[in-house]
Amino acid sequence: MAKYNRNSGKPWTPAEIQKLEKLADQNTPTRVIGLKLGRTEGSIYSKASEEDITLDPVNQSPYNRK
């Protein structure tokens, strides 16, 4: 298991949820969010879904590149 899983199995704190929202708003990749919060990438997706936080990149469109 990766070393950054230090918070695995622990409940999310309100401060962590707020930080998740802030990082998601800044288009931070989920892997980086996981490293910063000490959570797995899967738990980031799960919690974002529970809290209605979108992780889609706002400023990137893969179809309009030339």
Tens digit of each residue's pLDDT (9 = 90 or more) over 24-64? 988 888 888 998 999 988 999 999 999 999 888 755 555 55
| CA-based radius of gyration for the chain | 13
Residue 11 in domain: no
* pLDDT reported for residue 66: 53
Residue 62 in domain: no
Domain boundaries, position 29: 20-50
52: left (phi over 0), alpha (psi -120 to 50) or beta: left
Structural domains of the chain, count = 1
- Model-level pTM? 0.76
Q: Classify 20 as helix, strand or coil.
A: helix
Residue 44 in domain: yes
* pLDDT reported for residue 23: 92
Rounded (5°) CA angle 41-24-54: 85
